[in-house]
């Protein structure tokens, strides 16, 4: 039996539609001003979780080995990895 991975991307491997290729480089993500509405799932003094049928639209700029690409898509997952890092998963729009 294999050991569990600390890599947040590997935790949903069975749900993937496309193969993943390990890469390195820099990425920037930005969003147009957008308002998302939904219904509260739970709330505490520290925050709120809510459900929405809307998606947060984003643009991602990826730079690898001097090449820059810009893709649009929707933010599909945010996961705190540790106190210093957060993982963001973006599903690209089809071209």
Judge whether residue 1 has pLDDT over 50.
no
Structure confidence at residue 6 as a pLDDT band (50, 70, 90): low
Query: In total, how many domains does the chain have?
Result: 1
Q: pTM for the whole thing?
A: 0.73
Residue 5 counted as domain residue:
no
Residue 17 counted as domain residue:
no
Mean of per-residue pLDDT scores for the chain? 87
Judge whether residue 26 has pLDDT over 70.
yes
Residue 12 counted as domain residue:
no
pLDDT at 2: 44
Residue 54 counted as domain residue:
yes
Residue 64: give the domain boundaries: 22-92
Residue 62 counted as domain residue:
yes
The CA-atom distances, in angstroms, between 62 and each of 56, 69, 93 are: 19, 5, 15
Q: What would the pLDDT profile of 46-85 be if each residue is shown by its tens digit? A: 999 999 999 999 999 999 999 999 999 999 999 999 999 9
């Amino acid at each position: 039996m294999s050991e569990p991975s600390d890599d947040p991307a590997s935790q949903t491997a069975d749900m993937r539609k496309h193969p993943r290729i390990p890469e390195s480089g820099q990425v920037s993500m930005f969003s147009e001003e957008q308002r998302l509405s939904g219904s509260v799932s739970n709330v505490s003094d520290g925050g709120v979780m809510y459900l929405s049928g809307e998606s947060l639209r984003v643009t991602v700029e990826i730079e690898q080995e001097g090449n820059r690409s810009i893709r649009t898509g929707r933010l599909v997952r945010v996961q705190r990895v540790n106190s210093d890092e957060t993982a963001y998963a973006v599903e690209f729009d089809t071209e």
